[in-house]
Amino acid sequence: MTYLPFLQIDVFSERHGDGNPLAVVLDADPLPERTFRRFAAWTNLSETTFLLAPTPAGRAAGADYRVRIFTPSGELSFAGHPTLGSCYAWLHSGGQPQRPGTIVQECALGLVPIREQQGRLAFAAPAMEQSVPNAALTALVVGALGLRPQQVRATRLLNNGPRWLALLVDSKDAVLGLTPDHARLKDLGQDVGVVYMAPQPHAAGEPAAYVRAFAPSLGTSEDPVTGSLNASLAQWLIGEGLAPPRYLAAQGECRGRAGRVTIEQDSAGQVWVGGRCLTAIEGRAHFP
């Protein structure tokens, strides 16, 4: 019998129940990979993470811990809300970073710096690839979402581990009023992010962006709050001059949540994606 520390974290949440839940198992080095997969399928959350000691190469490069990220059906090289939630759980359990104020996470994608400021964590958005999406597939996705073609202002295929077809639409109502055909989206096999960016300037403390994420690959029809998508959206939109270098994004309203994601591009051009994490459940997980 093996008992390991376990937390369930509410990520991108200003109050309990408003964000995206994440299951975290700490000190998971003794567990075999088949247990990771089985436990992640059992939690039935969009992601479950297992915290491990860094690899020798990772530690030499500055990593404080290593994370493996699993959906109910497979492993991810990187994901946003698991990054923040795992870091929060590591700090909550007494983790001390090598460099005060900056935590370095090792994952399959590489090393991800995370900073802690005023009770919030923010990760450095990893390098992203972007390209022009296939026009025929885009048209099918637009139809499956219930959008009219004229409502779509711009499109991009974004890849920072997860691969998103991103659609910039012309109104908040177009985002919140989507009536997607989830079965059709699943058949198309493409994760989709939809965003509206309000005209500048934005009122202080008010969301400038409204986001929804439809992610069949995660085993969910709609993800409540999505760090990887918000990261790649920010890199795309800021880079094209379609968004300011600092803004607040709202996601989850159509799932009964009120997730809030902070976006900030620093003077070096690095985009930081942040939010608050809250402990929902804390205890021990039993592994036979």
For residues 60 and 117, membership in a common domain is answered with yes
pLDDT range class, residue 205, cuts 50, 70, 90: confident
**145 & 198 share domain:** yes
Tally of structural domains, the chain: 2
DSSP codes of every residue in 32-97? -HHHHHHHHHHH-SS-EEEEEPPPHHHHHTT-SEEEEEE-SS-EES--HHHHHHHHHHHHHTT---
**Are residues 56 and 18 located together in one domain of the fold?**
yes
pLDDT, mean of residues 234-260? 97
| pLDDT for the residue 126 | 95
Count the residues in the chain. Answer: 288
Q: By 3-state DSSP, what share of the chain in percent is helix, strand and coil, each rounded to 5?
A: 25, 40, 35
Number of Cβ atoms within 10 Å of the Cβ of 157:
19
Q: Are residues 215 and 177 in the same domain?
A: yes
Q: Using pLDDT thresholds of 50, 70 and 90, give the confidence band for residue 219.
A: confident
pLDDT at residue number 214: 96
* Together in a domain, 166 and 199: yes
The CATH number of the domain holding residue 223 is 3.10.310.10
Q: What pLDDT score does 105 carry?
A: 98
Same domain, 147 and 91: no
By residue range, what is the domain housing residue 232? Answer: 129-269
Q: Where is pLDDT greater, at 125 or 288?
A: 125
Q: Same domain, yes or no, for 153 and 261? A: yes
Q: What is the pLDDT of residue 45?
A: 94
Tell whether 219 and 262 lie within a shared domain: yes
Task: Give the pLDDT confidence score for residue 117 in this predicted structure.
Answer: 84
Contact 243, 168 (CB under 8 A): no
Which stretches of the chain are DSSP H helices?
A: 33-43, 56-60, 80-92, 135-145, 172-176, 182-188, 227-239
Q: Tell me the pLDDT tens digit for each residue of 95-149.
A: 999 999 999 999 999 999 999 988 899 999 999 999 999 999 999 999 999 999 9
Is residue 10 within 8 Å of 81, Cβ to Cβ? no
DSSP state of 118: T
> Residue 216: pLDDT band by 50, 70, 90 thresholds?
confident
According to DSSP, residue 128 is labeled -
Residue 241 has pLDDT above 80, yes or no: yes
20, 23, 27, 31: CA torsion to nearest 10: -140
Is the pLDDT assigned to residue 79 strictly greater than 90?
yes
Task: Give the rounded percent of residues in the chain with a pLDDT score beyond 70.
Answer: 100
The model's confidence at residue 218, banded by pLDDT at 50, 70 and 90, is confident
Q: Does pLDDT of 274 surpass 90?
A: yes
pLDDT tens digits, 148-203 = 999 999 999 999 999 999 999 999 999 999 999 999 999 999 999 999 999 987 77
What is each CA distance from 232 to 21, 52, 161, 217, 236, in whole angstroms?
21, 27, 10, 17, 6
Statement to judge: residues 20 and 106 lie in one domain: yes
The more confidently predicted of residues 205 and 151 is 151
pLDDT tens per residue, range 33-46: 999 999 999 999 99
Q: Which residues are catalytic?
A: 47
219 & 199 share domain: yes
pLDDT at 276: 97
pLDDT at 9 (0 to 100): 98
Can you give the pLDDT at residue 81? 97
Task: Give the C-alpha separation, 135 to 35, whole Å.
Answer: 41
For the entire predicted model, the pTM comes to: 0.96
